[in-house]
Chains A and B, each alone.
Chain A
């Protein structure tokens, strides 16, 4: 069956360091993947997406890498800031654009 999961449930970094959040997926037929950020008490907020025919995409301070060989997705955040502290979810885009979310990684940025 379809599943999207995360290797690390928590990640603690120092302000200014780079953060890497990982995600494993099992459905090789997914069209795209999205990273969402969720702050406490709020809805998921889009960060970046990547289509399945790409292996890298860059945004502002963020890079998503897709390795289809091992079904692995990562989100790299450069120069992590306290405002980056949140739960990060990877999500798999499927039929009717529905999203299948992973369990989430809690990122804590220490000042």
Chain B
């Protein structure tokens, strides 16, 4: 069964450093998302991506964040200058086109620890 994959599973970085979190969505999906989950809290929407551009972003997704789909396969989230409060689980999700139902398929997540 196809699944969303994410790398790395755990990333440790120093405050102020740049990180890139990588995702490979399910191959025929058209909608892509990043969510984050601070330990013990709910999952929060960051950004949605469709047709090679951001379709919506939350207040969390400020100028320090960016997303790319560089090669039609990978979907990346970059944080330019990490802060302590960026420590969280980051989940990538993808969804088929509009005829494919409402389910978003989530990856296993990347745990980001900012020291």
Contact = CB atoms under 8 A, between A and B. Distances in A.
Interface string A26-42: 00000010101000011
Interface stretch (A13-21, A64-72, A76-84, A101-109): A101-109
Contacts of B102: 32, 34, 49, 93, 97
Interface stretch (B11-19, B44-52, B67-75, B78-86): B44-52
B44 A96 contact: no
Given A42-B109, A46-B104, A96 B50 contact: yes
B48 A98 contact: yes
A5 to B, nearest CB: 9
Contact of B105 (A32, A46, A101): A46
A42 B42 contact: no
B55 interface: yes
B contact patch SS = strand
A101 B43 contact: yes
Interface of A: 32, 34, 36, 41-46, 49, 89, 91, 93, 95-104
A102 B103 CA distance: 16
Interface in B1-46: 4, 31, 33, 35, 41-45
Given A43-B91, A44-B91, A99 B105 contact: no
Nearest to A102: B42
Nearest to B54: A96
Contacts of A100: 45
Contact of B33 (A36, A98, A103): A98
A21 to B, nearest CB: 14
Given A46-B103, A46-B104, A101 B44 contact: yes
Contacts of A42: 108-109
B56 A104 contact: no
B42 A96 contact: no
B87 to A, nearest CB: 16
Given A43-B106, A49-B101, A99-B33, 8 more contacts: A43-B91, A44-B43, A49-B102, A96-B50, A98-B33, A100-B45, A103-B41, A103-B42
